[in-house]
Structure 1
């Protein structure tokens, strides 16, 4: 798998010919402009560059709403996004421009709630410009006191007249410095005394609306991320996405749709690190021979390549299962998605760390490729569900499946084994 992305020829069980055609478009030459822009840290230019003429954002929107053909057999399904296409795109972007990958991913998070729950008017007003790259979205969920525990968010939306008033704070929100619209999740009901979920509702808010203030947050890697504050921000009821109280489900559906592709981005970064490591140990000579002739170095390369292939297979399996699941059965893929996200991001961290080690002192000089990747990979183990949260999801899934299976005694009574 030496190319920029997986192809159906390499994993025919999981991918189809249309995916091979997409992978063939994701060449180093085609993505070179993005890579050059990413090096300038011009996030706005990178964001626009993935719209026209590359057309990458078309894969974030269902075919029924003007997006790319999904090949799902459900062209009229206004919620069907082809996750395998997202996997191919994010692995390719992860290899050449992690900044572009981060913007692409959040463009998906900032538009998919509109796909799922937006009114016809909201979809018509927002999605065409999302496809072209003229409009960038953000997914405003995380708060200072509500990260993994989404149900504890404190941003509040109160009914006033025929609209709502939003007050609260969001933090670590990607795309904030670029965003034209925000998908904001706010509490619309009092926290229940029994510790259950408060009523949470989603709203579509213009980033320049009165009562919205934002500020960028500096990170260890170039990334458009920031803080949002809402102070008596008034929005009409037509800004609501979906039903009152339906925001928690909408947030989880959105995260579930894109969580698998986080693993693909990690695979892209790991693949780039492995290539850099191979090039370095082949070129670098110590003790009268290339580093690649040392047994310890070869053992490292073997481990790195094997972990990368295992991660790619887990991601491909999860994406295939989600794409081919019957309508409404996506929840059954949660365990596989969590496995893919957890393993791929953790494996990429190990692979990139070994690549730095193989580079020796050059691996920690600022500006070298493996040093940059070392900083780029770290957030992927946190966002869209930390590794620890993925473990809880996996354990819950396997325990539920075990409980649903008949016991040995029940099989014996039924005459089965």
Structure 2
């Protein structure tokens, strides 16, 4: 296998996942309340062993899993990905006791995880975190806010990043595992364009101890980047799955919808747009797979490759879905239509886990840092 092709077993697995998402998971997703954690859907993901794949697979398998689920049911993909994002720091940096307490429930879909990094004044600039972790009797007291946190306020535990060393920017951030029932922690749901749950968290002197540490004092930024370097290419895979779903629908629609006495596909203006959608989608696929393969192989330049994959795939998905809506016409704007759903879903990935502008900055910084000066 190379970074640019899949073997027959992987291809068959992707098709199986897509069918499973469409036939079994999509009905459960339809029964959920928008903006709330769909626990029956999570339980089904656990029962099918898909949540377990989050922790036993590499970046490429994670990308294939997210892409395939997204083609059949975006809600199932998002529920699975948020579990991974919130729990991966526990797997990688947690103590044996933390892993034993929380990960079996995450794998089974009983415990809901959340990744609490962003704040009202610190989204893309993670080094500017202001949630204060003040020393207190051998532990710390967390005081401040988190915002735009997926699965909040309904998660069972949060991976929380707080400032333990003032003025040290990224070098002064520590990660903690904070159960949702900890005294002083409250949350508020936010009504967002995307249908999955997002909320704000308020910390009023929330007590944490050394037993709650993830990765050690002042190691939180490394914990966050370890997680994001894995999940950024897979955000691109999520976007890729949506692009492929929109492309599939558009090929079918333009081949069967007639106008001016012929299928829409007979119009060069239409067929060329579909060709552009397909070409950009394939280019995004190659970038995503290559970034994931580089991560799994331990190759250098993973942050740049992950940034390229997320940037290009999410921007491409926005273009593909928007073009699909245009070619479908008014029917695509009707509530409940696949493309209406994708149109709402596709916008957020260009912002979360590092906005497109941040990804461009990461790419440019590495290019300039590694340049070879001319004599």
User: What is the TM-score of this pair, normalised by structure 1?
Assistant: 0.85
Partner of 1:46: 41
CA gap 1:31/1:128 in 2 versus in 1, 3 angstroms: farther
- Is the Cα–Cα contact under 8 Å of residues 174 and 224 in structure 1 kept in the other structure? yes
The alpha-carbon deviation at position 17 of structure 1 amounts to 6.0
Q: Secondary structure at the match of 1:209?
A: coil
- Is the Cα–Cα contact under 8 Å of residues 190 and 198 in structure 1 kept in the other structure? no
Q: How far apart in 1 are the matches of 2:183 and 2:257? A: 58
Partner of 2:49: 55
Question: What does the per-residue CA deviation read over 1:237-284, in whole Å, with 9 as the maximum and x for residues that have no partner?
Answer: 211112111111111111111100001110110111111111221222
* Equivalent residue in structure 2 for 1:28, among 6, 19, 24: 19
Partner of 1:65: none
Q: Secondary structure at the match of 1:232?
A: strand
Confirm whether residue 236 of structure 1 aligns to residue 205 of structure 2: no
- Is the Cα–Cα contact under 8 Å of residues 149 and 198 in structure 2 kept in the other structure? yes
Confirm whether residue 155 of structure 1 aligns to residue 131 of structure 2: yes
Q: How far apart in 2 are the matches of 1:36 and 1:99? A: 10
Confirm whether residue 186 of structure 1 aligns to residue 145 of structure 2: no
- Is the Cα–Cα contact under 8 Å of residues 191 and 197 in structure 1 kept in the other structure? no
Q: Secondary structure at the match of 1:172?
A: strand
Confirm whether residue 365 of structure 1 aligns to residue 356 of structure 2: no
Partner of 1:335: 304
Q: Secondary structure at the match of 2:301?
A: helix
Q: How far apart in 1 are the matches of 2:44 and 2:154? A: 13
Partner of 2:71: 95
Structure showing greater radius of gyration is 1
Q: How far apart in 1 are the matches of 2:16 and 2:141? A: 46
- Is the Cα–Cα contact under 8 Å of residues 19 and 84 in structure 1 kept in the other structure? no
Confirm whether residue 347 of structure 1 aligns to residue 342 of structure 2: no
- Is the Cα–Cα contact under 8 Å of residues 86 and 113 in structure 2 kept in the other structure? yes
Partner of 1:377: 346
Confirm whether residue 117 of structure 1 aligns to residue 93 of structure 2: yes
- Is the Cα–Cα contact under 8 Å of residues 304 and 363 in structure 2 kept in the other structure? yes
Work out the number of aligned pairs and report it: 371
Confirm whether residue 304 of structure 1 aligns to residue 277 of structure 2: yes
Q: How far apart in 1 are the matches of 2:255 and 2:302? A: 41
User: What is the TM-score of this pair, normalised by structure 2?
Assistant: 0.94
The alpha-carbon deviation at position 401 of structure 1 amounts to 2.5
Partner of 2:83: 107
- Is the Cα–Cα contact under 8 Å of residues 18 and 72 in structure 2 kept in the other structure? no
Q: What 5-or-longer segments of structure 1 have no aligned partner?
A: 1-7, 62-67, 71-81, 410-417
Q: Compare the two structures and name the one with the higher helix fraction.
A: 2
- Larger RCO (CA under 8 A, 6+ residues apart): 2
* Equivalent residue in structure 1 for 2:360, among 391, 412, 415: 391
CA gap 1:215/1:346 in 2 versus in 1, 3 angstroms: same
CA gap 1:211/1:111 in 2 versus in 1, 3 angstroms: same
Partner of 1:414: none
Q: How far apart in 1 are the matches of 2:258 and 2:337? A: 19
Q: What 5-or-longer segments of structure 2 have no aligned partner?
A: none
Q: Secondary structure at the match of 2:347?
A: helix
Question: What does the per-residue CA deviation read over 1:17-63, in whole Å, with 9 as the maximum and x for residues that have no partner?
Answer: 663463253141465221112222342222222111x11111222xx
Q: How far apart in 1 are the matches of 2:315 and 2:156? A: 33
Question: What does the per-residue CA deviation read over 1:111-134, in whole Å, with 9 as the maximum and x for residues that have no partner?
Answer: 111122111111111112211111
CA gap 1:220/1:12 in 2 versus in 1, 3 angstroms: closer
